[in-house]
Structure 1
Amino acid sequence: MRRMRLDFSLDEAQAKAAVRRSIPDLREAEFKAWDDAGLIEHLDIDGQRRWFNRAPNNLFLLSEEASQRRPADKRISRPGPYERLGPHHAEVIAASDRSGRNSVSPRRIRVTQSITVKADAVPAGETVRAWIPYPRAIPGQQENIRWLGSVPDGAQVAPEDTLQRTAYLERTAVAGTPTEFSVNYEVTISARRFVIDPDKVLPTPSDPALAPFLAQRAPHVVFTPALRAFSRKVVGNETNPYRVARKLFDAVDQIPWGGAREYSTISNISDYALHAGHADCGQQTLLLVALLRLNGIPARWQSGMVYSDDAVGYNNLHDWGAVYLAPYGWVPMDVTTGALDSSVPAERDFYFGGIDAYRIAFNDDYSRALVPAKQHFRSETVDLQRGEVEWKGGNLYFNQWQYDFQTQVLPLEGQ
């Protein structure tokens, strides 16, 4: 409940004031209409109505009417440099067509990721334990990982097969001083593009290795009656796995993006995404994974950070996934970026069977154990992009520390 109060911290006056920062002449009736329509997310907590911190900004992503009421210079859109068709997509398509390969356009990057715990969040002399996300090698996607070092020294890097891999660090808290942790490494990341002929896609083979990716996994991937009804409406009589998957991808792509509350406060994320009227990247991905598995199509989760060329200076948390289509195998999908705005199929469909080279994966599944194990309840029970921190007295939640993620794009060897 404490976490929910942190997310839903606005009372009615504060929520209205936040909207008025963008619509100075906001009318009471407008706010009520948008709120009643579920466009300004709220909860009743201890008998009081509280509004989600990010709901006032989400309103302008979810409502065209509200967006038009905002001055033109304050209208917002998703800022990611690869969420719109651009030169990198053309580069990947051309390289794939030219070479016939599904792994192209590599980027070599140097990463510094850090956690800074607020001064006196932990009593002086106590040991602070931190887990910073760290990539594992994924053939064709991210390879040639080179560890450069950590602060403090002595990081314990989890085994390669850890699905939520981290570098673990310890440091003694000092009174009045922030406790800092960081890791540095290099990795080569490639774009992926699979050219798929729908008529050549076969039914999912009976393979024990695929069984976990067809199964429910409570609480966030559950074949609820509502999920089954939505699936029937979208899929209809289609049986071709590619076309079924594409129908589901397109349907989930239609859910508007909105900033999300912390995942640890949501009882069933795929069901939440189905009903909330908006979803962020992880919520959309979990909904699509659940729908694909329901239809007998293996699907899995992946997440990490997106970055950009140095001159752009962009990075952000991001989640996406992969779908298994025989005989092509596992192919990537990013339903949040979704269909690009193009009449050219290779461009429009780039993120159904492909991903750009500007993302680093830390997680090949969700809600998996950390190495070494955490002693206290995690801040993020599903994803792992910012990290985790604790001491013997308990978990340190996100309001007690900050994370940072910086990249430098390096020349490729031989270039």
Structure 2
Amino acid sequence: MSITSIFAQQKFEQLISEIDKGNFSNSEKAIDSLLISSELSFEEKSYLRFEKERMNRIRLDFQKSKQDIINFSKEFLPDVNDEMILNWEKDGSLEFMIIDGEKKYFNRSHTNLFRINKELRKIKESKLGTLKDSLDFYLEKNIPNILDKLKNKESINPQKIKFTYTVSVKPNMVPNNEIIRAWLPFPVEYNSRQSEVRLISVNNDQYVLSGKNQKHSSIYLEKAAKENEPTIFEYSVEYSAKPLKYFVDAKEIIGYNKESDLYKTYVKESAPHILFSEEIKLLSNEIIGEEENPYIIAKKIFTWINDNIPWAGAREYSTLRNISDYCIDRMHGDCGIKTLLFITLCRYNGIPARWQSGWMLHPGNVNLHDWGEIYFEGIGWIPVDQSFGIIDSEIEDAKYFFFGGTDQFHMIVNEDYSDQFYPQKNYERSETVDFQRGELEWRGGNLYFDKWNYNMKVEYLN
């Protein structure tokens, strides 16, 4: 968050409070009145326009009714009633908002309910059997094999992957012949983990690759919209990837060079999502106790989040004001939310930590994915996947494989969050934190996710 945005938030504190209370219609009218004023700066007007856009995005995220929740819950709990619904709301299992006086539930709150609430999770498990999915079984089977090869220093052939990424803008989202600008996610060259990136094809005569200096790796395309037709952007790429595991002995961890630029950069707060709030400080004290070894501290944080923060489908990040605090407040989160909590707690404890994300391309489990990295002096940056967490295994190194390890199916696109694009984007982003689906705009404004679809087709070449 820029200094200007922080000042704007302070200036419009009362308005922001009304928005957060769900008083959207009155807030929109207030914003419209303020935007007419010539006394506001360009930055302040931009801030207010995005607050108005944020309300639209929240409306899209909260469209379920109480009856929708009841209908879904009856599959596992036939006698579900209003009192149960109210109790789930009170204990935080069921996410809702009062928007202009009407209670609306988060679009994924019904499925999240049976992940977040421990009793309901048990009920679901009793009816369906194990709640492990195909990814759990895949990791439990393959991680020990990867570990054996890495420990024995056996050669592991890189996994060669080809994928085709497609974005299709729905017909008539922009006027005929208007140019649509598109930034699509593109795999980055990242040491031995990800290499030999090669663009195979692109359905455009001209394109721009962002280059190594950008934290968001992208391929940029432009196309003119045609009336009554979808506008399609598509490219294919190949790359190679290897698994990696750092076998760290906590006793060999040395002190940080606290005067280095790296240390100063990656232990500091970064508004709005990495802030050392009172909630972060209290939670840190609970988790860490008197421990001083950075490696053990980071492992304690990793373990606590794994054991206490269940995975749940997430709201769009652009609708959340502080993601790490949101995670503590709601006590659940998806991969990015859990990762930001991990990063924040590490930084608060003086451990350099940063964001990394892209896609998970595991066979049968292809999806957007976020994780992080932490830094130890004399070792360097090591990967940490807080969402994959602790693997169900009796082997300690397998259990904690994703604390200091990664497999060959984590495709890296981003080496930080909320960074700039190349070429520069003119309008607000659809995803203000991450970059995995893409970003699109035209001269009339941003094209939000409801205006287009995306698809990832993966081929495993060996």
TM-score bin (small chain): over 0.9
From 380, 392, 401, the equivalent of 1:341 is 392
2:374 paired residue number: 323
What is the one-letter code of the residue matched to 2:372?
Answer: G
Structure 1 residue 87: Cα displacement: 3.3
| Cα distance change, pair 169–5 in 1 and its aligned pair in 2 (3 A) | same
* Alignment partners' CA distance in 1, 2:138 and 2:115: 16
From 286, 292, 296, the equivalent of 1:233 is 286
1:356 paired residue number: 407
What is the one-letter code of the residue matched to 1:33?
Answer: N
* Alignment partners' CA distance in 1, 2:441 and 2:133: 33
* Alignment partners' CA distance in 1, 2:287 and 2:137: 25
Given that 2:170 and 2:451 are in contact with CA atoms closer than 8 Å, whether structure 1 keeps it comes out as yes
* Alignment partners' CA distance in 1, 2:227 and 2:68: 35
Given that 1:105 and 1:191 are in contact with CA atoms closer than 8 Å, whether structure 2 keeps it comes out as no
* Alignment partners' CA distance in 1, 2:65 and 2:130: 24
* Alignment partners' CA distance in 1, 2:56 and 2:389: 34
Can you list the C-alpha shifts for 1:201-240, whole angstroms capped at 9, x where unaligned?
Answer: 1122232233211111000000111101110111111001
1:407 paired residue number: 458
Residues 1:65 and 2:116 are matched in the alignment: no
| Cα distance change, pair 406–79 in 1 and its aligned pair in 2 (3 A) | farther
| Cα distance change, pair 364–61 in 1 and its aligned pair in 2 (3 A) | same
Where do 1:16-415 residues align within 5 Å?
Answer: 16-20=70-74, 22-70=76-124, 77=131, 79=133, 81=135, 85-99=139-153, 104=156, 106-206=158-258, 207-254=260-307, 255-309=309-363, 313-411=364-462
Given that 1:83 and 1:337 are in contact with CA atoms closer than 8 Å, whether structure 2 keeps it comes out as no
Given that 2:280 and 2:325 are in contact with CA atoms closer than 8 Å, whether structure 1 keeps it comes out as yes
* Structure 1 unaligned regions, length at least 5: none
Structure 1 residue 100: Cα displacement: 7.7
The alignment's C-alpha RMSD in Å is 1.8
Q: Which moved more, 1:104-113 or 1:238-247?
A: 104-113
| Cα distance change, pair 245–158 in 1 and its aligned pair in 2 (3 A) | same
* Structure 2 unaligned regions, length at least 5: 1-54
| Cα distance change, pair 160–82 in 1 and its aligned pair in 2 (3 A) | farther
More helix by percentage: 2
Fraction of identical pairs, as percent: 35
* Secondary structure at the counterpart of residue 9 of structure 1: strand
Given that 1:108 and 1:188 are in contact with CA atoms closer than 8 Å, whether structure 2 keeps it comes out as yes
Structure 1 residue 324: Cα displacement: 0.7
* Alignment partners' CA distance in 2, 1:110 and 1:76: 33
Greater RCO, CA 8 A, separation 6+: 1
Structure 1 residue 72: Cα displacement: 5.6
* Alignment partners' CA distance in 1, 2:122 and 2:146: 36
Given that 2:310 and 2:331 are in contact with CA atoms closer than 8 Å, whether structure 1 keeps it comes out as yes
TM-score by length of 1: 0.93
Q: Which runs of 4+ in 1 moved over 6 A?
A: none
Given that 1:301 and 1:320 are in contact with CA atoms closer than 8 Å, whether structure 2 keeps it comes out as yes
* Secondary structure at the counterpart of residue 57 of structure 2: helix
What is the one-letter code of the residue matched to 1:314?
Answer: N
- The number of residue pairs the alignment matches comes to 406
* Secondary structure at the counterpart of residue 341 of structure 1: coil
Q: Which moved more, 1:38-47 or 1:21-30?
A: 21-30
* Secondary structure at the counterpart of residue 315 of structure 1: strand
* Secondary structure at the counterpart of residue 152 of structure 2: helix
Structure 1 residue 29: Cα displacement: 2.4
Q: Which moved more, 1:227-236 or 1:148-157?
A: 148-157
| Cα distance change, pair 26–76 in 1 and its aligned pair in 2 (3 A) | farther
Structure 1 residue 12: Cα displacement: 2.4
What is the one-letter code of the residue matched to 2:161?
Answer: I
Structure 1 residue 251: Cα displacement: 1.2
Given that 1:163 and 1:364 are in contact with CA atoms closer than 8 Å, whether structure 2 keeps it comes out as yes
Can you list the C-alpha shifts for 1:363-400, whole angstroms capped at 9, x where unaligned?
Answer: 01000011111111110000001001111111111111
Given that 2:140 and 2:393 are in contact with CA atoms closer than 8 Å, whether structure 1 keeps it comes out as no
Given that 2:140 and 2:391 are in contact with CA atoms closer than 8 Å, whether structure 1 keeps it comes out as no
| Cα distance change, pair 100–107 in 1 and its aligned pair in 2 (3 A) | closer
| Cα distance change, pair 70–208 in 1 and its aligned pair in 2 (3 A) | closer
Structure 1 residue 314: Cα displacement: 2.4
* Alignment partners' CA distance in 1, 2:134 and 2:360: 9
Given that 1:92 and 1:193 are in contact with CA atoms closer than 8 Å, whether structure 2 keeps it comes out as no
Given that 2:76 and 2:127 are in contact with CA atoms closer than 8 Å, whether structure 1 keeps it comes out as no
Q: Which moved more, 1:70-79 or 1:361-370?
A: 70-79
| Cα distance change, pair 75–406 in 1 and its aligned pair in 2 (3 A) | farther
Given that 1:142 and 1:187 are in contact with CA atoms closer than 8 Å, whether structure 2 keeps it comes out as yes
Q: Which moved more, 1:32-41 or 1:6-15?
A: 6-15
TM-score by length of 2: 0.84
* Alignment partners' CA distance in 1, 2:137 and 2:315: 22
Given that 1:132 and 1:183 are in contact with CA atoms closer than 8 Å, whether structure 2 keeps it comes out as no
What is the one-letter code of the residue matched to 1:358?
Answer: F
Structure 1 residue 108: Cα displacement: 0.6
Q: Which moved more, 1:346-355 or 1:13-22?
A: 13-22
